[in-house]
């Protein structure tokens, strides 16, 4: 095989389609006045089913586009990298060599099926973050208040980011920063005498504390007496119990945290230190009863910060500043990500600005990943939503749906567990892919429009309305289907060359192999954009490609054992990669459905 040049920022040993791209770039740079790098930057994935496309005008070369295109085609001989080139107005479409592509991709997937030391599937992962540490804060609910849908989104997107960074070689510290301090605790403590009930607390502590909170805010506006031993004792045990409940719910969601911390863990010392430092720098001015940092110059208005309530309880912003300082001391992170709704854009901009003004060089490594609001997921009219209720409802909705098909229902081993798992997947997918995707699923169960509609879905910043009915579409066609149709394992073909030869006869097999080849790029793009939707789209495209292939590239009924095992090998590789994508999305693959 002819030697290809080496290009920075490419990684053929982990993303073998890079080789094909490099060969296209090489051909361009040999026929046009372009460097290899310039040419490479112009090689994109094709949009309408082509493998790779080059938009010639982007090179701004002198002369007519048609002539430039003709130059590239002149004397073209297919080789082991490129099968054909087609001119389409000002575009050139490159079709890669089918046999070699299938061979290279499957070989690579197969060679990288093991898990990395951090438990990530190797294929699709890379080591761009090697030696670097990121703290990712997500979920962060408020302990006596409602777990709102913003918290759910933060939980889902945050877990995705944690997996994604791990897959890119970063050391990840995932952190849950509980809203566990402030006047609300004093309120509940005061109101508990009157409204609290041990029995109700034991049954559903999170809900009960919330109810007490709601009632007490209605009749009084008392602040806690700081240091009241009794109040503190109660608070500690409530926090503990609430946390246990949350942990159960997170476990069900397949989401883990390395660190549970909270506003109450930010020490008074670090907040005082921040305050003193800001004062020394002349950044603090008095205003009424409060102290503020003047951020007018930076268009961040003047927030009142670092002020304290009469009882000594400090504010949300103050905690975030002290908290960031402590986290840096403790973790010396290279990056810290806050996964918090867009409603707090302003708040986090202030936090980051103050830390920057304080002169911390690490302040530039703070990143706010925001997202839009979710509407429409309330479980009971008029009451707040809690995480465990959302999970329960997802399972129930799915269970009801499954019962509608007697035949299928009868073969499901544990309907309770299965429906819960698929229900959770439904919530996650709906959240990460946003509305366009679900509506397409609904209107066309064949998923074909979905595929036509392109690789990148709606971004996380868009608001969306959650719809329980939409979740039902997950019961039929999608993820777990794959395991369901899994036939017995056949012996592997004698060599991958022979397998490739069989597979190259099938356009559907080609499509699957190429898609598998794009996965490392899907991961890279997600890391740049911090968007889960591209990974969701990839997973569904792959499922769709497999389902379409299933009746054409048949295993069952294929008499030739060698061919049957060649095809099986393709499905095995596809399953591995699908599992890797699902892993990124924190979705547990079901063994059987």
591 contacts 486 by C-beta, under 8 angstroms: no
Q: How far apart are CA 488 and CA 573, in angstroms?
A: 15
Among 153, 116, 85, 135, smallest CA distance to 340 is for: 153
137's enclosing H/E stretch is strand 133-137
Q: Rank residues 320 and 326 by Cβ distance to ligand ARG and give the closer one.
A: 320
436 contacts 442 by C-beta, under 8 angstroms: no
The reply to whether 205 sits near ligand ARG by the rule CB under 6 A is: no
- Shortest CB 293 distance to ligand ARG, Å: 17
Q: How far apart are CA 8 and CA 18, in angstroms?
A: 11
- Shortest CB 338 distance to ligand ARG, Å: 5
Beta bridge partners of 374: 464
The reply to whether 395 sits near ligand ARG by the rule CB under 6 A is: no
Number of shown-chain residues binding ligand ARG (CB under 6 A): 8
- Shortest CB 161 distance to ligand ARG, Å: 14
Window 87-146: residues binding ligand ARG (CB under 6 A): 137, 140, 142
Contact map string, positions 322 to 341, toward ligand ARG, x by CB under 6 A:
----------------x-x-
Q: Rank residues 144 and 545 by Cβ distance to ligand ARG and give the closer one.
A: 144
C-alpha dihedral (371, 377, 381, 385), degrees to nearest 10: -60
Q: Rank residues 179 and 534 by Cβ distance to ligand ARG and give the closer one.
A: 179
- Other CB atoms within a 10 A radius of the CB of residue 231 amount to 18
Q: Return the residue of 123, 160, 177, 474 that touches ligand ARG, per CB under 6 A.
A: 177
- Shortest CB 320 distance to ligand ARG, Å: 5
Q: Which residue has its beta carbon closest to ligand ARG?
A: 179
- Shortest CB 346 distance to ligand ARG, Å: 12
Q: Which residues are catalytic?
A: 145, 148, 151
- Under DSSP, is residue 90 helix (H, G, I), strand (E, B) or coil? coil
Q: Rank residues 320 and 475 by Cβ distance to ligand ARG and give the closer one.
A: 320
SS (H, E, C) 435-486: HHHHHHHHHCCCCHHHHHCCCCCCCCCCCEECCHHHHCHHHHCCCCHHHHCC
The reply to whether 320 sits near ligand ARG by the rule CB under 6 A is: yes
Contact map string, positions 272 to 311, toward ligand ARG, x by CB under 6 A:
----------------------------------------
Q: Compute CA distances 343 → 138, 159, 340, 348, 383, whole Å.
A: 15, 20, 8, 10, 22
Contact map string, positions 517 to 546, toward ligand ARG, x by CB under 6 A:
------------------------------
The reply to whether 210 sits near ligand ARG by the rule CB under 6 A is: no
Q: How far apart are CA 38 and CA 436, in angstroms?
A: 35
374's enclosing H/E stretch is strand 374-375
Among 283, 333, 338, smallest CA distance to 306 is for: 283
- Shortest CB 271 distance to ligand ARG, Å: 14
The reply to whether 179 sits near ligand ARG by the rule CB under 6 A is: yes
Beta bridge partners of 178: 262
Q: For strand 335-339 and strand 133-137, is the pairing parallel, antiparallel, or unpaired?
A: parallel
At residue 506's C-alpha, the angle toward residues 512 and 19, to 5°, is 50
- Shortest CB 263 distance to ligand ARG, Å: 7
Q: How far apart are CA 100 and CA 338, in angstroms?
A: 44
Q: Rank residues 149 and 340 by Cβ distance to ligand ARG and give the closer one.
A: 340
Window 400-419: residues binding ligand ARG (CB under 6 A): none
- Give the binding site for ligand ARG (CB under 6 A): 137, 140, 142, 177, 179, 320, 338, 340
């Amino acid at each position: 095989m002819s030697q290809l040049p080496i290009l920075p920022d490419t990684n053929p040993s982990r993303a073998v389609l890079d080789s094909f791209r490099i060969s296209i770039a090489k051909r361009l740079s040999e026929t046009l006045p372009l460097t290899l790098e310039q040419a490479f930057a112009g090689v994109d994935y094709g949009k309408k089913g082509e493998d790779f496309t080059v938009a010639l005008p982007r090179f701004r070369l002198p002369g007519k586009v048609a002539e430039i295109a003709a130059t590239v085609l002149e004397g073209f001989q297919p080789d082991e990298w490129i099968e054909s080139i087609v001119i389409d107005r000002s575009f050139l479409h490159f079709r890669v060599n089918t046999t070699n592509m299938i061979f290279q991709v499957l070989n690579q997937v197969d060679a990288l099926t093991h898990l990395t030391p951090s438990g990530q599937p190797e294929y699709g992962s890379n080591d761009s973050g090697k030696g670097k540490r990121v703290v990712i804060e997500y979920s962060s609910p408020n302990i006596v208040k409602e777990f709102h849908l913003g918290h759910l989104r933060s939980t889902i997107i945050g877990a995705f980011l944690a997996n994604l960074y791990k897959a890119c070689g970063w050391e990840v510290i995932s952190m849950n920063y509980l809203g566990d301090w402030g006047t609300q605790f004093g309120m509940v403590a005061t109101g508990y005498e009157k409204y609290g009930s041990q029995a109700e607390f034991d049954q559903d502590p999170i809900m009960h504390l919330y109810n007490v909170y709601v009632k007490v805010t209605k009749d009084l506006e008392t602040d806690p007496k700081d240091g009241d031993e009794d109040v503190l004792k109660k608070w500690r045990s409530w926090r503990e119990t609430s946390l246990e409940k949350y942990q159960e719910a997170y476990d069900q969601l397949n989401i883990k945290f390395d660190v549970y911390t909270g506003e109450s863990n930010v020490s008074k010392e670090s907040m005082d230190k921040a305050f003193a430092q800001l004062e020394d720098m002349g950044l603090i001015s008095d205003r009424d009863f409060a102290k503020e940092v003047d951020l007018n110059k930076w268009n961040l208005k003047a927030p009142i910060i670092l002020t304290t309530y009469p009882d000594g309880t400090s504010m949300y912003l103050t905690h975030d500043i002290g908290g960031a300082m402590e986290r840096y001391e403790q973790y010396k992170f290279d990056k810290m990500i806050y996964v918090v709704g867009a409603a707090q854009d302003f708040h986090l901009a202030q936090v980051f600005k103050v830390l920057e003004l304080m002169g911390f060089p690490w302040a530039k490594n703070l990143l706010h990943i925001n997202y839009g609001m979710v509407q429409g997921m309330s479980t009971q009219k008029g009451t707040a939503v809690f995480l465990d209720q959302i999970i329960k409802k997802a399972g129930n909705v799915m269970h009801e749906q499954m019962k509608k098909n007697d035949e299928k229902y009868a073969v499901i081993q544990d309907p309770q567990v299965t429906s819960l798992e698929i229900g959770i997947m439904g919530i996650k997918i709906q959240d990460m892919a946003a509305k366009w995707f679900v509506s397409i699923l609904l209107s066309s169960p064949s998923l074909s429009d979905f595929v036509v509609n392109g690789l990148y879905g709606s971004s996380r910043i868009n608001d969306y309305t959650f719809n329980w009915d939409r979740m039902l579409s997950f019961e039929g066609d999608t993820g777990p289907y794959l395991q369901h149709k899994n036939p017995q394992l056949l012996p592997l073909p004698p060599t991958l060359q022979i397998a490739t030869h069989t597979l190259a006869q099938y356009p559907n097999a080609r499509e699957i192999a190429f898609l598998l080849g794009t996965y490392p790029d899907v991961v890279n793009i997600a890391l740049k954009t911090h968007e889960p939707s591209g990974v969701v789209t990839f997973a569904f495209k792959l499922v769709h490609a497999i389902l379409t292939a299933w009746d054409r590239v048949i295993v069952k009924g294929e008499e030739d054992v060698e061919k049957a095992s060649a095809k099986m090998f393709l499905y095995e590789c596809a399953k591995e990669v699908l599992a890797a994508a699902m892993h990124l999305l924190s979705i547990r693959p079901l063994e059987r459905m």
